[in-house]
Amino acid sequence: MKIDFILPVKIDNEKRYHLAVQTLTTFFLTTTTEHFNRLIIVDDCSTFEDFRDELSKPEFLETKLIINHINPSQLGVGGSKNKGIELANIFGRGEAVYFMDSDVFYTYGWLEKVLEAYNKNKDTFKIIGGGIHPYLQPRQNEDTELLTSHDAVSGWSWFLDYETWDKYGKLADNSLGTGKSEDWEYCQRIRNDGYKVGCLKNQVIAHCGLTNSEGQQIPGYNESKILAERITKEALLL
């Protein structure tokens, strides 16, 4: 199966820059070319010039498999993902798409586990999340105990085939925070049709890089672990 990997990214400070470089570095180290159709980086008006310089390196410019698109105006997360799909349509899309996060740490075997879950459960689960976003935390003054899988879905990196994407349409660009973003609204359309949305419980911690480039735990680590356990009923267990 050939997959388009779409990475929406907005870099406005040094910390986000280092996380994005970590994401790209570990992605290339752990992702086999067997399933690689194209990597589409949608730069949503980054202002940190070092990131632009990073993407201007020869290894990014000398392959047709990588597209670096710079939005002339801010599109937001949902809009950037939609732009990535538009570019995939123009350059020739694969059979499936994986929406990446720009601040994760990929581990060896992550994609194989996602594909195994997809092949076993594709008739029931229309979206398979690689894991929970490392910064997923309660909204202000909200008790962690109140977080549910519906909140978590807005933080997942997604895998879905293009048949699912074509059926359920574009993402809305109305990011309003955990559990109220364009991701949540999209997944509700799928649930309303009787299908499920899930994540890989065993990958929740590993894939979503709860450590930074120096190996230190980042904010949200404990909350993400607690939430990972809470959504077990909906998670796919390999």
Question: What is the tens place of the pLDDT at every residue in 10-28?
Answer: 888 877 787 788 788 888 8
* Best CA proximity match to 229, nearest among 113, 140, 148: 148
Residue 163 identity (one-letter amino acid): E
Long-range contacts formed by 63-68: CB under 8 A, 24+ apart = 65/36, 65/37, 65/38, 65/39, 66/38, 66/39, 66/40, 66/41, 67/38, 67/39, 67/40, 67/41, 67/91, 68/41, 68/43
The two beta strands, 125-129 and 96-99, are: unpaired
The dihedrals phi and psi of 31, each to the nearest 5 degrees, come to -105, 120
Q: Is residue 237 part of a domain?
A: no
Q: Is residue 41 within 8 Å of 68, Cβ to Cβ?
A: yes
CA gap 25, 115 in Å, rounded: 21
Residues in the chain where the model's pLDDT stays below 50: 134-139, 147, 149-154, 176-180, 213
Q: What is the pLDDT of residues 111-125, one digit of tens each?
A: 888 898 899 999 988
pTM for the model: 0.81
CB hemisphere CA count around 161 (13 angstroms): 13
In contact, 158 and 126? CB cutoff 8 Å: no
Look at residue 235 and tell me if it is in a domain: no
236, part of any domain: no
> Is residue 131 in some structural domain?
yes
- Tell me whether residue 238 is in a domain: no
Distance CA 56, CA 61 (A): 7
Report the CATH number at residue 89.
3.90.550.10
Structure tokens at 108: 């060896």
Whole-angstrom distance, CA of residue 128 vs CA of residue 230: 17
Count of structural domains within the chain: 1
pLDDT in tens, 123-147: 988 988 876 554 444 445 555 555 4
Main-chain dihedrals φ then ψ at residue 84, nearest 5 degrees: -60, -40
Residue 14 falls inside a structural domain? yes
Helices (H), the chain: 14-30, 49-55, 58-61, 76-91, 110-121, 149-152, 162-168, 182-192, 204-207, 221-230
Domain of 226, in residue numbers = 3-230
